[in-house]
Structure 1
C-alpha cells in the first residue's frame, strides 16, 4: 500500500479465507477501497479553499526600520528561501509559521522581510505583496 496526499487506495487483491459451511473450502475475496482519511468534510478541494480574500483590498504596508523589501530568488524547501534584498544583500529568509501553507510564495515575488540584529545574512519573511501592491510600491519609488 502506498499513501499519497492522505488518500488510501487498495487495489483489488486476492484474499483467501476458509468457509466451513461451503462445499468449496476457499473463498476468493476482492476488496477495493478509496477513502479520504483525515481530510474532513469536503476532501482535498475544500482544504485548498476558493480564494475568497482575493477580491478584498487591503492597506498597503510600508517598511519600517529593521525591515526591508526583497525579491525571491529561489525556494530552498523546509520553509526557507533565498531573497535579494533591495539594500544590495542576498539573504537566507525563513517563512514564519503563520504564513506556512496559507500564503504560497513563488520565485520572483516581492516580499517584506524583517532583518535580524544578530545575523545580517538571515531574515524572516513578514509579508508577501500581491501583484498590484508590488506595482504600486514600484510606482511610488519605494521599491
Structure 2
C-alpha cells in the first residue's frame, strides 16, 4: 500500500465513556460538556491533565460520566483538531 491515507488509530470511548464537546470553560478545572448521549454535563479536568493538556471551547473530548451523579463527568482524553476531523469524517461524532 503505497499511498498514505493519514488515518490514525485513535483512542475510542470505553463502555462507560462518551464523546463530548466542550461548550464553555467555567474556570479552574471545570468545563461544560455536551455529550453524545444527549446530556449536558459539568466536566471536571483531573489533575493529571490540568497542566499538561489545555482544553478550550469547541474541543472534542472523551468524558466518563459519574455513576453516582449523572450530571457530572470526568474529562479523560482530548483530541487534536485533526483527530476530531477524522472522527467526524468516519461518522463517530456529529
Q: TM-score by structure 1 length?
A: 0.58
Q: Distance in 1 between matches of 2:89 and 2:14?
A: 19
Name the structure 2 match of 1:82. Answer: 32
Instruction: Give deviations 1:40-85, integer Å, cap 9, x for gaps.
Output: xxxxxxxxxxxxxxxxxx7400111110000101101120000100
Structure 1: distance between partners of 2:52 and 2:9: 19
1:44-59 matches, cutoff 5 A: 59=9
Tell me which residue corresponds to 2:3: none
Tell me: higher relative CO, structure 1 or 2? Use CA pairs within 8 A at least 6 residues apart: 2
Show the counterpart of 2:71. Answer: 121
The yes-or-no answer on 1:138 pairing with 2:88 is: yes
**Normalized per residue, which structure has more strand?**
1
Q: Among residues 43, 47, 50, which one is paired with 1:93 in the alignment? A: 43
TM-score, normalised relative to structure 2: 0.87
Structure 2 residues not aligned, in runs of 5+ = 1-7
User: Larger Rg: 1 or 2?
Assistant: 1
Give the root-mean-square deviation of aligned CA atoms.
1.5
Aligned residue number for residue 109 of structure 1? 59
- Cα distance in 1 for partners of 2:79, 2:56 equals 11
Q: Quote the offset at 1:99 in angstroms.
A: 0.6
Structure 1 runs (4+) deviating above 6 angstroms are none
